[in-house]
Amino acid sequence: MARRTAVSALWAEDGVEVIESAQHRGRDEIEARITAAHDEFVRGAGFVFRSAGDATGHHDTITFTTHMVPAGGGDIAWTGRAFVVLGPDGLIRSDHQFTVPTGDTRSTVEDFLRRLAEGDPDRIAEVFAEQVDWVLDWPAEGHPAVPWIRPRSTRADVADHFRTIAEFHVPGEAAGSAARILVEGNEAVVLGDIRQTAKATGKAYTALCALHLVVEDGLITRYAVYEDSLTVAEALSCS
């Protein structure tokens, strides 16, 4: 009953959903399609669907990306992009869905950010190529309070980088946000912030940052980070 109510509230009576293999026209067919997908993927296989947070639109059209992931955590199993057309009454007239190929730039970057939030250094490193062009906005001599900020060049270096960061911060208090992900071809820019609490000083800090990533064959080959390094250094300095 709740599903039928939701379909009626969102879809026009003659609305149509178009996927690669079929069309579903009218509320009855759309409800049946949603029920079948829920039974197969959610109830049956234990997946959940999560928004990529990239919804945008104009002139009664909306496009957005969604990921199908294991409810208990794990790799993205499927990524889809939808193009939705609304009627004058705000109800959905049509919804065209497209499967996003695995390894495209946006899905790779979103996978990296999801693994970064999970905090496992080895799983983070798996998204990187064996050889990485690692670019830092940081003096070559480094800073004694932040030893993880130094040149890197391999996948093993990437794991060590994120492992060392964790060692210098309070567990469970790491957070951050990606306000914008801009993609053009195989390059992406991520704009956001990092929030941590330093173990040595107990100081909590928020540092603005930007990442410039290059993705080739589903792996990150260039990682350039530009961050508020002064805020990081001050938070970790005991003096």
User: Quick one: 111 and 53 in the same domain?
Assistant: no
Which range of 8-12, 109-113, 202-206 scores highest in mean pLDDT? It is 8-12
Residue-level pLDDT at 176: 82
User: Quick one: 59 and 95 in the same domain?
Assistant: yes
Residue-level pLDDT at 110: 87
CB-side neighbour CA atoms (13 Å) of 156: 0
pLDDT in tens, 219-236: 999 999 988 878 888 887
Compute the average pLDDT of residues 8-22: 93
Query: pLDDT grade, residue 139 (50/70/90)?
Result: low
User: Quick one: 63 and 128 in the same domain?
Assistant: no
Residues 6+ apart with CB under 8 A from 83: 61, 62, 63, 95, 96, 98
- Taking the CA atoms of residue 220, residue 78, residue 174 and residue 153 in that order, the dihedral angle to the nearest 10 degrees is -10
**What is the identity of the amino acid at 121?**
P
Compute the average pLDDT of residues 139-145: 67
Query: pLDDT grade, residue 140 (50/70/90)?
Result: low
Domain boundary among 70, 99, 128: 99
Domain boundary among 56, 82, 99: 99
Task: Identify the residue with better confidence: 86 or 170.
Answer: 86
Domain boundary among 51, 79, 99: 99
For residue 218, count other CB atoms closer than 10 A to its CB: 15
Residue-level pLDDT at 142: 64
Q: Is residue 116 predicted with pLDDT exceeding 70?
A: yes
Parent domain of 202: 105-236
Residue-level pLDDT at 143: 67
CATH of the domain at 56: 3.10.450.50
* CB 224 within 8 Å of CB 211: yes
CA distance readout (Å), 215 to 78, 150, 224: 19, 22, 12
User: Quick one: 95 and 149 in the same domain?
Assistant: no
Burial 146-175 (b: 16+ CB within 10 A, else e): bebbbebeebebbbbbbbbbbebbeeeebe
pTM equals 0.64
Domains in the chain: how many in total? 2
pLDDT in tens, 52-108: 888 899 999 999 999 898 988 777 888 899 999 999 999 999 999 998 876 688 888
